[in-house]
Chains A and B, each alone.
Chain A
Amino acid sequence: MSDNKSLENLVTQVRRDILRMVHKVNSGHPGGSLGCAEFLVTLYNDIMKLNDGFDMDGKNEDVFFLSNGHISPVIYSVLARRGYFPVDELNTFRLLDSRLQGHPTTHEGLPGIRIASGSLGQGMSVALGAALTKKLNGDDNLVYSLHGDGELQEGQNWEAIMYAAGNKVDNIIATIDYNQKQIDGATDDVLPLGSLSAKFEAFGWEVLEIKDGNNIQAIKDGMAAAKAKTGHGKPVVVLLHTEMGNGVDFMMNTHAWHGKAPNDEQLESALAQNPVTLGDY
């Protein structure tokens, strides 16, 4: 188990990476990336059981799928900082000939990524497939996934959600980034999701909530509770309440930074709010 302080320092570094990556190419998605920094840092450095190195098949380790691929900056930073590929490579984000495509892909063979994502709504099905294979392989490890809340507007999710419960796929913990915002505004204004907990429960899932999804201890406790629910015949979902743009005052409480890069001055201000560095790339 990693102590919370070192994880917090890592989160700050990941925030710096996200901001600098997006700023450099003047494109990318900082808002959702910042909102999920605590979760993905904690997941990869405290929660998941991971083997050394990277193997596409992920046998005998936990595997993770990012369904909302637009938050690529955060997963790239977390993977690089975990040692999957050189941290320096973050410098190539969204540039020609880079393995760090705008949205994640396996096409260029980036260690840590097992499926392309970006076109929304497909990750739940993929995670289920990997979970079913783990069962066939007698592999007791878990499949984790992260989905945007707005992404649940895609109907394929509900096919997958129905399948998972109907077939007792109980080695999966799906996490919903419940920030209640999407590109065009609040999810309630674009297409209301209604009660996600009631919906998942009605579909036969175990539903847990992490009320402060930007708090490392809350994430640890919530995910431990979720893990305890696995293996009992039901798929598990965690509604992770996050703040889009977390850690940068002017990016919080708005959907404006979903897909917009900071300018030079904004970058300076944002980095000043996240001063701890473990070594910028």
Chain B
Amino acid sequence: MKKYTNTGSKDTRSGFGDGLTELGKTNPNVVALCADLTGSLKMNAFKDNHPERFFQIGIAEANMIGIAAGMTIGGKIPFTGTFANFSTGRVYDQIRQSVAYSDKNVKICASHAGITLGEDGATHQILEDIGLMKMLPGMTVINTCDYNQTKAATLAIADHHGPVYLRFGRPKVANFTPADQKFEIGKAVQLTEGTDVTIIATGHLVWEALQAAETLEAAGISAEVINIHTIKPLDEEAILASVAKTGCVVTAEEHNFLGGLGESVSRTLAVHHPTPQEFVATQDTFGESGTPAQLMEKYGLNAAAIVKAAEKVIGRK
């Protein structure tokens, strides 16, 4: 099995910040809007280099989404930045009417997604955002796995015309994908080849899935790991090709099992190739305060949980 190396843990939000900084230099139409969380979203460099294209909106997320929608009229490409909770649930109707239904070229960039925001607790965490965004017609939904991929995705979505939800996190996670990768929206990345089980993961659980695959290999189980960075549109072809070989699936995500990646995968399988599936995800619950590692452990979002799910799903074949 191909091994992956952590080349140095970094936060995915810095991938966004660095991607945005690069866009500032290369794409004069890119503008950035922030709702009083410039530092948290790592938007400082863009702000410092391009003050005329940086818009501090204040603690007013609904207004930020509306302004972003309006700024597309005249050719700007707005990137909004705030926490995932305030990027989605708080402004769902604004995104629905002014962005998605109006087909505006707005990039909603959301940090601190999931429970690994940690100590701030459930008010600031969100485990429903993938579901909220993927239900909107025309919305592209991306959840990146590490720093390099987040940077690549940030660059890629500027060239994609249409509304995009880009989701990333707060803590430092393993950085293992290539720095020079080509990010193709909607194209899954197969990381390992296997024959016994397919592990489909998104976000930083992709790294956990790779760790799980190594553990499984040691136990004589061959796991195929697929990185689904784009939840919508979903790369159904890659998923179906893999399950045709393995016959069972584990999905892994830092999101509620309702509405997330797992549900998208199960729909694809139900329609095209009914297959046993286990869900590594939160079980319809809010989060709580704690360190990211504690929360990952308590809510079953780590390599150990993926191993357990794989063993279980293989037994259901």
Contact = CB atoms under 8 A, between A and B. Distances in A.
A130 B97 contact: no
B58 A163 contact: yes
A129 B73 CA distance: 8
Given A119-B93, A163-B60, A57 B69 contact: no
A118 B97 contact: yes
B43 interface: no
Nearest to B28: A136
A115 B102 CA distance: 6
B70 A127 contact: yes
Contacts of B68: 129
Interface in A57-113: 57-59, 63, 65, 105-107
B98 A122 contact: yes
B91 to A, nearest CB: 9
Contact of A136 (B64, B76, B101): B76
Interface in B88-103: 93-94, 96-98, 101-103
A160 B67 CA distance: 8
Interface string B212-230: 0000000000000000000
Contacts of B65: 125
Contacts, number: 120
Size class of the contact patch on chain A: 35 or more
A132 B102 contact: no
Contacts of B57: 163
Size class of the contact patch on chain B: 20 to 34
Contacts of B62: 121-122, 125, 155-156, 159
A190 B94 CA distance: 24
A119 B66 CA distance: 12
A45 B72 CA distance: 26
Nearest to B76: A133
A87 B72 CA distance: 29
Nearest to B66: A125
16 contacts: A57-B74, A57-B75, A58-B74, A106-B102, A118-B97, A121-B62, A122-B62, A125-B98, A126-B66, A126-B69, A126-B98, A129-B67, A133-B71, A136-B74, A156-B94, A159-B63
Interface of B: 31, 52-53, 55, 57-58, 60, 62-76, 78, 93-94, 96-98, 101-104
Interface of A: 56-59, 63, 65, 105-107, 114-119, 121-134, 136-137, 139, 155-156, 159-160, 162-163, 166
Given A57-B75, A133-B76, 11 more contacts: A106-B102, A116-B98, A122-B97, A122-B98, A125-B98, A128-B63, A130-B73, A133-B72, A155-B62, A156-B94, A163-B67
